[in-house]
């Protein structure tokens, strides 16, 4: 069938608005928190329940969907053929647990490997960022966004995840030094929103497919680059050390990476 | 005269609300940005104009006020005798310039060295945190805050400033490792708000008097500890390496500092 992307965009927005209300209702009761790989990698009952809800709603909207979900309620994917939905039910689970703030729901829809629609929902601010190639634009709720200014690294703030900085992975400390400063918000979704809005010029972190699937679609649509730290396309079926950056900041950061190699 | 602190609290809130509107109006035009000590230490026309406005309003409210202001429009203070107002017209100037968000106005009022009233205004969220010993409580706009939970370091997120982390000052990396994670928001005021709300269990940064004067008053009123990194009282006339923390997190962090000394 020919996909009506505008209609699908509206349908997914409605699903996410329902999901948001369910999450807010659940937050009124104590969370059940479990560790996944270590004590800083958490999952809650709300992550799991929300993924189950989103997966069932996606199957209703798109019975042929292939679904990759963080908590494992989707399918086991070995390729990006067909229409692939990549779902993060609660991005920034540590913030969700400790702050009840600064977390997001994210869905990215790919067609034969090409990003079409992305959704990042800042749940507590109640702002849903949505759009992509298939609808030719990015919106924050009803307001269309313009592309952020193409600032060089020296003129902008860089987002990062904490381990990248502390272990100085990928010359992160040199990158911070060359920038206007570093910010750490603790959620890929919130970091990506800051890049969409031009509040940071970039973001570096190890990310799983569900951490960047929606963001890549929205960012590319606003001319913000998404690549591996050495400038290559992401593999959307595995983890990547991801560099999000304006065109100029990407050039500056790839230069820092190259300079070191040549030493 | 006997001070009517309740009235003064209301008067300062009114002044800050006027100041906020002036700042928002100014933000509609391009900022004039200058470097102070280095390219990451900025001042804008709005910092200066807002301090001049606040200082003139303080003199109207309290003709005998001694005023210590970041941009130098106050007095030259050598003691904390009498009533001392400590003013930061724009805290988080880098965020103000680069993000137009995540900055604060702050005023702390001390009487003979004892903190009485503190004000931290999250300008873009339009939430004014105010209160202190003199009015026996802390409010976010009209809503009184309860003390945050006294969580140990291992159960909470730690705020920090970027240089402390990158240069591993005061064993910051060990502190981050022992915590649930690190966040960097780029404004002492915003970091202190997170501590007041229990969204982080602490914050470590080099701070000038105007960066912590208001926060110390509000935090102490909600049983959150403010000290130097080795647990001593702050000198409010100079810079300090400041540790803000819940009682339990303070104990845990002082233990990390001590353990290293004994090596």
Cβ contact A166–B156 (<8 Å): no
Q: What pLDDT sits at residue B2?
A: 59
Tell me, what CATH number does B10's domain have?
3.30.540.10
Tell me, what CATH number does A188's domain have?
3.40.190.80
Residue A153 and residue A179 in contact, taking contact as beta carbons nearer than 8 Å: yes
- Of B93, B148, B143, B158, the residue nearest B123 (C-alpha): B93
Q: Which domain holds residue A103?
A: 5-144
How far apart CA A182 and CA A204 sit, in angstroms, is 11
- Of B93, B83, B149, the residue nearest B116 (C-alpha): B83
In tens, the pLDDT along B249-263 reads 999 999 999 887 654
B17 and B114 belong to one structural domain = yes
Q: Total domain count for chain A?
A: 2
A119 and A205 belong to one structural domain = no
Mean pLDDT of chain B: 96
Residue B212 and residue B228 in contact, taking contact as beta carbons nearer than 8 Å: no
Above 90 in pLDDT, residue B95?
Answer: yes
Q: What pLDDT sits at residue B260?
A: 75
B123 and B192 belong to one structural domain = no
CA angle B102, B107, B110 (to 5 degrees): 145
In tens, the pLDDT along B11-51 reads 999 999 999 999 999 999 999 999 999 999 999 999 999 99
> Taking CB atoms and an 8 Å cutoff, what residues of chain B touch A199?
98-99, 101
Residue B135 and residue B145 in contact, taking contact as beta carbons nearer than 8 Å: no
Provide the 8-state DSSP code for B184.
Answer: B
> Taking CB atoms and an 8 Å cutoff, what residues of chain B touch A173?
166
Which residues have CB under 8 Å from A151's CB, separation 6+? A198, A201, A246, A248, A249
How far apart CA A108 and CA A132 sit, in angstroms, is 9
A138 and A253 belong to one structural domain = no
The answer to whether B72 contacts chain A (CB < 8 Å) is no
Cβ contact A180–B101 (<8 Å): no
How many C-beta atoms surround the C-beta of residue B247 within 10 A?
A: 13
The position carrying tokens 């880098």 is B94
- Token pair, residue A50, equals 């929300």
Q: What pLDDT sits at residue A263?
A: 47
> Taking CB atoms and an 8 Å cutoff, what residues of chain A touch B162?
176, 181-182
Residues 100-159 of A with CB under 8 A from B: 101, 156-157
A110 and A231 belong to one structural domain = no
Comparison of pLDDT for B1 and B127, the residue scoring more: B127
| ipTM beyond cut 0.90 | yes
Domain boundary among B121, B144, B167: B144
CA distance A115 to chain B (A): 28
Domain boundary among B119, B144, B169: B144
> Taking CB atoms and an 8 Å cutoff, what residues of chain B touch A94?
157, 180-181
A240 and A206 belong to one structural domain = yes
A13 and A138 belong to one structural domain = yes
Residue A101 annotated as lining a ligand binding site: no
Choose among A98, A156, A184: nearest Cβ to B184: A184
- Token pair, residue A122, equals 């800042």
B140 and B158 belong to one structural domain = no
How far apart CA B246 and CA B198 sit, in angstroms, is 9
B219 and B133 belong to one structural domain = no
Residue A189 and residue A244 in contact, taking contact as beta carbons nearer than 8 Å: no
Domain boundary among A144, A177, A204: A144
Structure confidence at residue B102 as a pLDDT band (50, 70, 90): very high
B157 and B245 belong to one structural domain = yes
- Of A50, A58, A90, the residue nearest A75 (C-alpha): A58
How far apart CA A220 and CA A225 sit, in angstroms, is 6
Choose among A40, A99, A165: nearest Cβ to B166: A165
Residue B218 and residue B131 in contact, taking contact as beta carbons nearer than 8 Å: yes
In tens, the pLDDT along B198-250 reads 999 999 999 999 999 999 999 999 999 999 999 999 999 999 999 999 999 99
The arithmetic mean of pLDDT across residues B96-103, rounded, is 97
In tens, the pLDDT along A201-257 reads 999 999 999 999 999 999 999 999 999 999 999 999 999 999 999 999 999 999 999
Question: Which residues of chain A have a pLDDT value below 50?
Answer: 1, 263
Comparison of pLDDT for B129 and A262, the residue scoring more: B129
Q: What pLDDT sits at residue B261?
A: 63
Task: Using alpha carbons, list the distances in angstroms from residue A69 to A47, A51, A105.
Answer: 11, 7, 12
């Amino acid at each position: 069938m020919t996909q009506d992307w505008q209609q699908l965009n509206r349908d997914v927005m409605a699903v996410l608005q329902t999901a948001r209300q369910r999450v807010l209702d659940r937050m009124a009761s104590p969370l059940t928190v479990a560790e996944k790989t270590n004590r800083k990698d958490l999952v809650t009952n709300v992550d799991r329940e929300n993924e189950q809800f989103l997966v069932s709603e996606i199957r209703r909207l798109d019975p042929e969907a292939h679904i990759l979900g963080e908590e494992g309620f989707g399918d086991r994917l070995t390729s990006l053929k067909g229409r692939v939905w990549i779902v993060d039910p609660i991005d920034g689970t540590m913030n969700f647990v400790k702050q009840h703030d600064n977390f997001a729901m994210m869905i990215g829809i790919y067609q034969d490997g090409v990003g079409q629609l992305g959704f990042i929902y800042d749940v507590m601010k109640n702002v849903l960022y949505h759009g992509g190639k298939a609808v030719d634009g990015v919106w924050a709720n009803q307001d269309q966004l313009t592309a952020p200014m193409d600032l060089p690294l020296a003129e902008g703030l860089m987002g990062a995840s904490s381990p990248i900085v502390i272990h100085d992975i990928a010359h992160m400390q040199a990158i911070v030094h060359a920038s206007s400063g570093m910010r750490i918000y603790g959620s890929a979704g919130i970091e990506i929103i800051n890049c969409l809005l031009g509040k940071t010029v970039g973001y570096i972190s190890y990310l799983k497919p569900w951490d960047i699937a929606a963001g890549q679609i929205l960012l590319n649509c606003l001319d913000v680059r998404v690549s591996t730290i050495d400038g290559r396309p992401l593999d959307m079926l595995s983890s990547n050390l991801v560099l999000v950056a304006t065109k100029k900041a990407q050039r500056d950061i790839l230069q820092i990476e190259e300079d070191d190699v040549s030493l």
